[in-house]
């Protein structure tokens, strides 16, 4: 009897814990209609009045100004040094502390003047003379407020062309060991040579002088590029080519050199809309408004005084958002359905652009997927919309080609609905017949084993299993699924032993089709590697199509936007249809929730322009 | 006893040396390197990075350089600008000169911190969380176990053991979000995530302010971690106390007329605690260096995350640093446990 009682008690204890978790939250009590009697024109009438649910109290203004609370993903910001930044969190903060010569409009992806208010281009299109904004001071947080940085004579230090030259040369310097410098090396003259140089040799100084960045005077910067490419200024505006304070990195007569530690709070100096105030590693990073930033068209003066970045995992960040401690948050996969169904949260939900494509690549040299009809059959047989509706559920867009719509010179579904490859079960079966005929096989049972590999993750597994089933249903082919840990997976995919079908994604470095079709898919690109640089691919797709190579090389330097788009459309057709080297699956979207008192913009290029946001209370 | 302790400390160094050798070998044997990216870095960049971090040296030289960095102390007055020239222990001597010891190397993933910074800033937080959790689990677990043993086969016994089974079966990954939901989001009594203290710390791990602003962050994670460990302590205490209670000397003590309280606390408990202390040693070392799951769920900036992420990132110095740190903690904890045996059971003597 007692035994039973204690068992029942423990079950009740457990159940009460679980049930409270499942119930609706206290703050979202549904509005209850209340009966009231009102007098209308002399006659009493009974009406039902809906009492609105109690509004949550607005955030308290403590007199310290407006504070925005956001979260990065889980993990510390790796660095705030513009030359060393690769992570989105680093780039986000660097883009608030500094401004490039050009600045990408986050909503329209239009390249706008940044620190360079105007520029002249030489006749052959490779030498750009940029005229910089004047009298923008370097500032720092001195413990109590933002102050201007003074030089050894007591004068204010302004951002000059020399600072940009220093920053660019520092990025290209092999001693800095920048991960991202090679992107600058693609475009700027002399940068690659310096990167490959030997710092001990006598010619090293000549290599430094040979980098295509020169200060004509304090506010005139001359940049020399390798080719007259359309995206030169795009790359010159990236975070790897920012003005950097040489006096605090190398030291000078009145400033102690801080070396690698110059980005730490207390030493960090900036000139953009915000300044670094505090950085508690792994915990929070705080930036405050820079009152000395005059505001330019593409980067106005900030309206929000303080931004606090936390570093929380998505489910934790979402819990903080619901508790009222964060103003913006992503949504964990498991909560998407609940958010869409909830009246308050669904109003705060925004489905925005995310510049990434998810695809499956083929090792086109490995039988039996070396047969183009088989590859095309696989590609037609994926029901992309069903995948999005049932597995992904975040309103992603089905992909008919590789390059994410919204990039410059990239086709869009509205204007080019028939480019690329579409889900088509009948075409899939027809292609399968042709493949079997080509290989001289009677049925799919005679095909050797085909392996589909992905990097270990619950999400990728769900997608792979769904697609495996689709192929069984339509083609009767069952591929084997395997997965590997990320670093091992990358090695396997980029080797000559790449599996038949492998999963990959690509997100933009800069919003131009060149970054997609050339830097990823052409020979030597990240998914079609060429280890010994002999022009023959030996990893990833292991795919060489001379017409494709010609198209993407010509497209890189083509100035006429219509011709350029046409070239890239032809290239896409070769990539996903004629040669079917990849199966484009879907274009990413980003789901987020923002508090209603936030007046914000939604960025298309991967990080936000917080200087344009405001808090309305 | 002193000889015993000295011998054990010497052994600690030997074991840690072997640990470092095995870890070093394993981490270089695993395919993949720290500079593998989805978009393959060009060979010049990889060459430059390898040179900067001395990854192009032969493996034995890398290992020896690492050991020298960790073991050999230095006395100099270099300003702390370079990331390669930073140390875990810095004791100011005179003027600008300082005594430096233990350089665990840079982190490949973070370009602004070294392993020394990571340990110095994140270990105290894990330590605070760990110590509080252990205290909580002892406060919950031991009385539960004692009552269950003394009142064996009564309702208290069954209730106590049910709570224990609940604690052991519901891991932090399940209990944590439930607690966060109830107290953090629904009732909004406690913050769902974060930690209330930031560096620098007093005496290596004590936070500077200990007001409600600190304690409100500790309640949920300490409870979540404490309950599951309390369960283990409760069951162990109960089992070993049950055995001790049956002994003859306990019957003698009772027949002498001593109160039950004295019999239990002075005679029975001391002998019953040996298995509990044995388990407490490794448990302490494990919790105090950081628990990955609990810290992720509660957004606590501790050291636990680095144990896992360093391996995925192939961040060799962080792997070595965290492994050696954990090994050191474990060996020290076991040493404390062995010393406490001598206090608990006079029959145990070391000479």
B52 to A74: CB separation less than 8 angstroms, yes or no: no
CB atoms within 10 A of CB A18: 11
Q: Which of B109, B182, B188 sits opposite A78 (nearest CB)?
A: B109
- Element spanning A127, H or E: strand A127-132
B37 touches chain A (CB under 8 A): yes
Q: CA gyration radius for chain A?
A: 28
Q: What is the 3-state secondary structure (H, E, C) of B164-217?
A: HHHHHHCCHHHHHHHHHHHHHHHCCCCCCCCCCCCCCCECCCECCCCCHHHHHH
Q: Is A32 helix (H, G, I), strand (E, B) or coil?
A: coil
B122 touches chain A (CB under 8 A): yes
Q: Mutation target for A interface from B27, B33, B36, B39: give the one with most A CBs within 10 A.
A: B39
What is the distance between the alpha carbons of residues A14 and A527, in angstroms, rounded to a whole number?
Answer: 51
Considering only residues 89 to 108 of chain B, which have any Cβ-Cβ distance to chain A shorter than 8 Å?
Answer: none
Structure tokens at B9: 């400390």
B29 touches chain A (CB under 8 A): no
- Residue A29 has a pLDDT of 41
Q: What is the DSSP letter of A270?
A: B
pLDDT by residue (tens digit) across A570-582? 999 999 999 999 9
Nearest CA in chain A to B199: A280
Structure tokens at A101: 């010569």
What is the distance between the alpha carbons of residues A393 and A336, in angstroms, rounded to a whole number?
Answer: 8
Task: Give pairs for B4-7: CB < 8 Å, separation 24+.
Answer: B4/B350, B4/B351, B5/B335, B5/B339
Phi-psi group of A221: left, alpha or beta (phi > 0 → left; psi -120 to 50 → alpha; rest → beta): beta
Q: Is B27 helix (H, G, I), strand (E, B) or coil?
A: helix
Task: For residue A566, give every residue at least 6 positions away whose Cβ sits within 8 Å of its Cβ, in sequence order, or none.
Answer: none
For residue A24, is pLDDT > 70?
no
Q: Is the dihedral of CA A373, A375, A376, A377 positive or negative?
A: positive
Residue A118 burial (10 A CB sphere; 0-12, 13-18, 19+): exposed
Q: What is the 3-state secondary structure (H, E, C) of A416-430?
A: CCCCCCCCCHHHHHH
CB atoms within 10 A of CB A352: 12
DSSP E strands, chain B: 74-76, 89-92, 98-101
Structure tokens at B224: 């979540």
C-beta of residue A375 within 8 angstroms of C-beta of residue A580? yes
- Residue A221 has a pLDDT of 95
Query: pLDDT under 50 in chain B at which residues?
Result: none
> What mean pLDDT, rounded, does chain B reach?
89
- Residue A9 has a pLDDT of 56
Question: Chain A partners of B117 at a C-beta cutoff of 8 Å?
Answer: 281
Nearest chain B Cα distance for residue A135, angstroms? 30
A319 to B309: CB separation less than 8 angstroms, yes or no: no
- Residue B80 has a pLDDT of 67
What is the distance between the alpha carbons of residues A320 and A138, in angstroms, rounded to a whole number?
Answer: 35
CB atoms within 10 A of CB B35: 16
Q: CA gyration radius for chain B?
A: 24
B49 to A177: CB separation less than 8 angstroms, yes or no: yes
For residue A566, is pLDDT > 90?
yes
Structure tokens at B157: 């016994």
What is the distance between the alpha carbons of residues A228 and A367, in angstroms, rounded to a whole number?
Answer: 41
Alpha helices in A388-445 (DSSP H): 425-439
Question: Chain A partners of B52 at a C-beta cutoff of 8 Å?
Answer: 175, 177
For residue A19, is pLDDT > 60?
no
Q: Mutation target for B interface from A90, A264, A316: give the one with most B CBs within 10 A.
A: A316
Overall average pLDDT of the A35-61 stretch? 47
B44 to A195: CB separation less than 8 angstroms, yes or no: yes
Structure tokens at A145: 């407020």
pLDDT by residue (tens digit) across A75-134? 899 999 999 998 889 999 999 999 999 999 998 888 999 999 999 999 999 999 999 999
Phi-psi group of A213: left, alpha or beta (phi > 0 → left; psi -120 to 50 → alpha; rest → beta): beta
Q: Mutation target for A interface from B42, B183, B220, B224: give the one with most A CBs within 10 A.
A: B42
What is the distance between the alpha carbons of residues A272 and B22, in angstroms, rounded to a whole number?
Answer: 48
A323 to B192: CB separation less than 8 angstroms, yes or no: yes
B193 to A280: CB separation less than 8 angstroms, yes or no: no
Question: Chain B partners of A263 at a C-beta cutoff of 8 Å?
Answer: 112
Q: Which of B48, B113, B194 sits opposite A281 (nearest CB)?
A: B113
C-beta of residue A571 within 8 angstroms of C-beta of residue A522? no
Question: Chain A partners of B79 at a C-beta cutoff of 8 Å?
Answer: 256-257
C-beta of residue A358 within 8 angstroms of C-beta of residue A387? no
Question: Chain A partners of B36 at a C-beta cutoff of 8 Å?
Answer: 487, 490-491
Nearest chain A Cα distance for residue B108, angstroms? 9
Question: Chain B partners of A192 at a C-beta cutoff of 8 Å?
Answer: 44
Q: What percent of chain A has pLDDT over 70?
A: 90
Q: Which of B30, B110, B194 sits opposite A78 (nearest CB)?
A: B110
| ipTM of the complex model | 0.89
- Residue A21 has a pLDDT of 41
A18 to B121: CB separation less than 8 angstroms, yes or no: no
Q: Which of B39, B180, B198 sits opposite A319 (nearest CB)?
A: B180
A280 to B301: CB separation less than 8 angstroms, yes or no: yes
CB atoms within 10 A of CB B349: 10
For residue A30, is pLDDT > 60?
no
> What mean pLDDT, rounded, does chain A reach?
88
> Which is it for strands A146-148 and A213-217: parallel, antiparallel or unpaired?
unpaired
Q: Mutation target for B interface from A10, A54, A76: give the one with most B CBs within 10 A.
A: A76
Nearest CA in chain B to A508: B39
B32 to A491: CB separation less than 8 angstroms, yes or no: yes
Q: Which of A3, A26, A313 sits opposite B296 (nearest CB)?
A: A313
Kindly report whether the peptide bond that precedes residue A103 is cis, defined as omega within 30 degrees of 0: no
Q: Which of A6, A75, A491 sits opposite B158 (nearest CB)?
A: A6
B155 to A182: CB separation less than 8 angstroms, yes or no: no
Considering only residues 148 to 207 of chain B, which have any Cβ-Cβ distance to chain A shorter than 8 Å?
Answer: 154-155, 158-159, 162-163, 166, 177-178, 180-182, 184-188, 191-195, 198-199
CA angle A595, A601, A605 (to 5 degrees): 120
- Residue A1 has a pLDDT of 53
Nearest CA in chain A to B159: A6
Nearest CA in chain B to A323: B185
- Residue A31 has a pLDDT of 44
> Which is it for strands A102-104 and A111-113: parallel, antiparallel or unpaired?
antiparallel
Our CA dihedral for B141, B147, B148, B154, rounded to 10 degrees, sits at: -150
A196 to B44: CB separation less than 8 angstroms, yes or no: yes
What is the distance between the alpha carbons of residues B276 and B345, in angstroms, rounded to a whole number?
Answer: 13
Nearest chain B Cα distance for residue A334, angstroms? 13
Question: N- to C-terminal Cα distance for chain B?
Answer: 6
Q: Is A144 helix (H, G, I), strand (E, B) or coil?
A: coil
B33 touches chain A (CB under 8 A): yes
What is the distance between the alpha carbons of residues A220 and A127, in angstroms, rounded to a whole number?
Answer: 13
Nearest CA in chain B to A282: B301
pLDDT band at A50 (very low <50, low <70, confident <90, very high): very low
Question: Chain B partners of A322 at a C-beta cutoff of 8 Å?
Answer: 185
- Residue A25 has a pLDDT of 38
Question: Chain A partners of B27 at a C-beta cutoff of 8 Å?
Answer: none
- Residue B269 has a pLDDT of 86
What is the distance between the alpha carbons of residues A400 and A316, in angstroms, rounded to a whole number?
Answer: 35
Q: Which of A430, A308, A413 is nearest to A374 (CA)?
A: A430
C-beta of residue A582 within 8 angstroms of C-beta of residue A522? no
Q: What percent of chain B has pLDDT over 70?
A: 99
Overall average pLDDT of the A49-69 stretch? 58
Task: For residue B282, give every residue at least 6 positions away whose Cβ sits within 8 Å of its Cβ, in sequence order, or none.
Answer: B330, B333, B334
Q: Which of B112, B117, B297 sits opposite A79 (nearest CB)?
A: B112
Question: Chain A partners of B38 at a C-beta cutoff of 8 Å?
Answer: 490, 504-506, 526
Nearest chain B Cα distance for residue A426, angstroms? 35
Q: Is A516 helix (H, G, I), strand (E, B) or coil?
A: helix
For residue A278, is pLDDT > 90?
yes
Q: Which of B62, B228, B235 is nearest to B146 (CA)?
A: B235
């Amino acid at each position: 009897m007692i035994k039973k009682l204690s068992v029942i008690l423990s079950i009740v204890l457990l159940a009460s814990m679980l049930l409270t978790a499942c119930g609706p939250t206290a703050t979202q009590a549904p509005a209850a209609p209340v009966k009231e009697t009102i007098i209308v024109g002399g006659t009493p009438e009974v009406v039902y009045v809906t009492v609105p649910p109690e509004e949550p109290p607005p955030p308290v203004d403590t007199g310290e100004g407006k504070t925005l609370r956001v979260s990065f993903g889980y993990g510390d910001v790796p660095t705030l040094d513009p030359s060393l930044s690769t992570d989105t969190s680093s780039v986000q903060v660097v883009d608030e502390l500094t401004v490039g010569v050009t600045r990408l409009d986050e909503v329209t992806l239009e390249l706008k003047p940044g620190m360079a208010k105007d520029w002249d281009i030489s006749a052959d299109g490779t030498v750009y003379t940029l005229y910089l904004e004047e009298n923008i001071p370097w500032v720092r947080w001195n413990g109590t407020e933002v102050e201007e940085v003074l030089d050894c004579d007591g004068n204010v230090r302004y951002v000059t062309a020399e600072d940009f030259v220093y920053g660019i040369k520092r990025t290209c310097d092999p001693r800095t060991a920048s991960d991202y410098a090679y992107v600058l090396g693609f475009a700027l003259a002399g940068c690659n040579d310096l990167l490959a140089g030997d710092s001990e040799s006598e010619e090293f100084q000549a290599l430094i002088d040979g980098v295509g960045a020169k200060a004509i005077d304090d506010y005139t910067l001359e940049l020399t590029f390798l080719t007259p490419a359309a995206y030169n200024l795009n790359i010159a505006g990236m975070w790897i080519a920012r003005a950097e304070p040489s006096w605090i990195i190398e030291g000078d007569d009145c400033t102690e050199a801080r070396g690698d530690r110059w980005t730490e709070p207390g030493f960090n100096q900036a000139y953009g809309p915000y300044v670094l105030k505090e950085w508690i590693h792994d915990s929070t990073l705080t930036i405050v408004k820079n009152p000395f930033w005059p505001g330019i068209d593409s980067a106005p003066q900030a309206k929000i005084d303080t931004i606090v970045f936390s570093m929380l995992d998505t489910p934790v960040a979402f819990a903080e958002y619901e508790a009222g401690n964060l103003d913006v948050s992503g949504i964990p996969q498991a909560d998407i359905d609940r958010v869409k169904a909830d009246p308050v949260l669904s109003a705060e939900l925004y489905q925005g652009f995310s510049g990434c494509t998810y695809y499956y690549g083929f090792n086109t040299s490995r039988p039996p997927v070396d047969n183009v009809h088989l590859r095309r059959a696989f590609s037609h047989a994926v029901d992309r919309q069903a995948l999005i509706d049932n597995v992904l559920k975040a309103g992603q867009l089905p992909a008919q080609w590789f390059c994410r719509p919204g990039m410059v010179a990239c086709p869009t579904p509205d204007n080019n609905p028939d480019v690329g490859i579409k889900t088509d079960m009948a075409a899939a079966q027809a292609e399968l017949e042709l493949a079997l005929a080509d290989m001289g096989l009677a049925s799919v049972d005679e095909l050797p084993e085909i392996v589909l590999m992905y990097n270990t993750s619950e999400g990728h597994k769900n997608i792979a299993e769904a697609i495996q089933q689709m192929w069984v249903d339509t083609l009767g082919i069952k591929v084997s699924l395997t997965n590997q840990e990320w670093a091992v997976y990358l090695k396997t995919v980029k080797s000559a032993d790449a599996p038949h079908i492998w999963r990959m994604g690509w997100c933009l470095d800069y919003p131009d089709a060149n970054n997609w079709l050339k830097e990823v898919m052409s020979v030597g690109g990240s998914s079609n590697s060429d280890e010994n640089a002999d022009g023959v691919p030996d990893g990833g797709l292991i795919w060489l199509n001379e017409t494709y190579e010609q198209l993407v090389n010509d497209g890189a330097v083509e100035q006429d936007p219509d011709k350029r788009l046409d070239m890239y459309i032809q290239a896409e057709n070769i990539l996903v249809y004629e040669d079917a080297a990849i199966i484009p699956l879907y274009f990413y979207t980003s789901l987020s929730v923002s508090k209603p008192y936030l007046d914000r913009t939604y960025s298309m290029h991967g990080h936000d322009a917080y200087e344009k946001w405001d808090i309305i209370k | 006893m002193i000889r015993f302790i000295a011998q054990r400390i010497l052994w600690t160094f030997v074991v840690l040396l072997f640990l470092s050798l095995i870890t070093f070998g394993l981490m270089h044997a695993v395919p993949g390197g720290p500079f593998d990216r989805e978009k393959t870095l060009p060979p010049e960049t990889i060459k430059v990075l390898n040179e900067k971090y001395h990854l192009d040296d032969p493996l034995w030289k890398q290992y020896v350089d690492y050991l020298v960095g960790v073991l050999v102390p230095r006395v100099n007055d270099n300003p702390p600008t370079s990331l390669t020239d930073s140390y875990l222990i810095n004791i100011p001597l005179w003027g600008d000169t300082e005594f430096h010891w233990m350089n665990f190397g840079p982190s490949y993933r973070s370009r602004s911190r070294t392993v020394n910074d990571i340990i110095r800033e994140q270990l105290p937080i894990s330590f605070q969380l760990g110590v509080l959790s252990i205290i909580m689990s002892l406060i919950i677990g031991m009385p539960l176990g004692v009552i269950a043993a003394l009142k064996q086969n009564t309702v208290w016994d069954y209730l106590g053991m049910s709570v224990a089974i609940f604690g052991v079966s519901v891991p932090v990954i399940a209990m944590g979000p439930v607690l966060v939901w109830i107290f953090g989001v629904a009732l909004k009594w406690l913050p769902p995530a974060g930690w209330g203290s930031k560096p620098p710390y007093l005496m290596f791990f004590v936070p500077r302010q200990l007001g409600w602003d600190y304690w409100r962050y500790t309640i949920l994670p300490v409870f979540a971690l404490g309950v599951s460990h309390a369960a283990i302590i409760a069951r162990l205490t109960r089992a070993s106390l049950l055995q001790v209670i049956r002994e003859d000397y306990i019957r003698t003590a009772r027949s002498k007329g001593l109160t039950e309280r004295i019999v239990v606390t002075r005679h029975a408990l001391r002998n019953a605690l040996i298995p509990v202390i044995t388990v407490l040693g490794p448990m302490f070392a494990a919790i105090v260096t950081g628990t990955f799951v609990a810290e992720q769920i509660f957004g606590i900036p501790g050291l636990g995350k680095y144990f896992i992420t360093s391996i995925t990132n192939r961040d060799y110095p962080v792997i070595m640093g965290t492994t050696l740190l954990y090994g050191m903690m474990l060996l020290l904890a076991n040493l404390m446990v062995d010393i406490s045996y001598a206090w608990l059971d006079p029959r145990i003597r070391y000479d």
